[in-house]
């Protein structure tokens, strides 16, 4: 191939749009970098290059709804004080995959070991405090509440579950406690009958007040200040820190240790680990850790 032909071919390739640029809304490398930096600044989430298509798909809906021309205009809007779009941005980029009794071994551990220990340790105060950090649409805290109600005498014990998330939309869903009936397929039949109401159409269910009253849903950014002081007996923070870098993870796990009782438990996601991140917990297996 001649030098001129190579040069012409290179110029043609440069002039072509990349797959991203040929989409409905142009998103340049600079736009993605701005969005990644904003995500990290406000949430601690790390958006690597492999997340670019996901970011495009989720934020294109926001751009369309706002009547903007491209991602550059959207970034400018996010940088505009008082625009009110930051919440929409955060809600769009956070991932909310969950189910009732997901990773059931954690709830078995809660039933068989953690809660009996709390009953013994807190026999005088009769208080139980659990935190579901990154609670998504509420399936996790309701699974926790079902387990607590089946183990603890909630008439005599002060049992409270704090359910927090960054996404205000999923918190509203969780607080309402209404789910498509398919969502409770992972729940035992006896528990379905005991803890859920089925609507007349048979298409949705609502959690019963007995498990709903135990839970407080609150919006919270884990990398910002925490208004609660604890202490907590048990913390579930599952499939959340995978989006954080190691420094952010280290800070977060140290803060969890600070707010847990001595000997308290931390449950994390199946693809997460505390190894080489913090030495304040000992591993018990199955991504269950105990504060040292």
Kindly give the interhelix angle for 86-93 and 29-43, rounded to the nearest 10 degrees.
90
Q: Name, in order, each residue with C-beta under 8 angstroms of 93's C-beta and a sequence gap of 6 or more.
A: 39, 43, 45, 47, 55, 58, 59
Which token pair is 251? 């800070």
Concerning whether 165 is annotated as a catalytic residue, the answer is yes
d(Cα 274, Cα 259) in Å, to the nearest integer? Answer: 17
The one catalytic residue in 52, 58, 111, 192 is 58
Q: Give Cα 276 distance to the centre of its chain.
A: 23
Concerning whether 183 is annotated as a catalytic residue, the answer is no
Q: Is 188 left (phi over 0), alpha (psi -120 to 50) or beta?
A: beta
Pairing of β 232-237 and β 158-165 = unpaired
Kindly give the interhelix angle for 86-93 and 52-66, rounded to the nearest 10 degrees.
140
CB 266 within 8 A of CB 289: yes
The one catalytic residue in 34, 62, 129, 165 is 165
Which token pair is 157? 């014990």
Give the catalytic positions in this structure.
Answer: 58, 165
């Amino acid at each position: 191939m001649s030098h001129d032909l190579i040069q012409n071919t290179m110029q043609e390739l440069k002039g072509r749009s990349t797959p991203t640029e040929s989409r409905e809304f142009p998103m340049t490398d600079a736009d993605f970098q701005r969005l990644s930096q904003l995500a990290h600044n406000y949430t601690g989430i790390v958006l690597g290059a492999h997340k670019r298509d996901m970011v495009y798909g989720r934020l294109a809906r926001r751009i369309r709804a706002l009547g903007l021309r491209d991602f550059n205009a959207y970034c400018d809007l996010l940088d505009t004080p008082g625009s009110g779009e930051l919440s929409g941005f955060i809600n769009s980029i956070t991932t909310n995959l969950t189910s009732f009794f997901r990773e059931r071994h954690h709830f078995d551990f809660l039933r068989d070991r953690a809660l009996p220990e709390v009953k013994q340790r807190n026999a005088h105060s009769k208080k139980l405090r659990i935190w579901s950090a990154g609670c998504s649409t509420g399936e996790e805290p309701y699974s926790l509440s079902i387990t607590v109600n089946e183990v603890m005498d909630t008439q005599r014990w002060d049992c409270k579950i704090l359910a927090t998330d960054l996404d205000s939309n999923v918190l509203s869903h969780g607080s309402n406690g209404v789910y498509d009936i398919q969502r409770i397929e992972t729940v035992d039949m006896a528990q379905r009958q005991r803890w859920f109401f089925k609507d007349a159409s048979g298409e949705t269910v609502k959690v019963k007040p007995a498990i709903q009253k135990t839970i407080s849903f609150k919006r919270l950014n884990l990398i910002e200040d925490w208004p609660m002081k604890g202490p907590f007996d048990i913390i579930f923070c599952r499939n959340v820190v995978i989006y954080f870098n190691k420094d952010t993870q280290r800070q977060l796990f140290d803060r969890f240790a600070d707010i847990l009782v001595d000997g308290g438990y931390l449950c994390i996601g199946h693809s997460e680990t505390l190894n080489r991140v913090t030495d304040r917990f000992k591993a018990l297996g199955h991504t269950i850790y105990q504060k040292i």
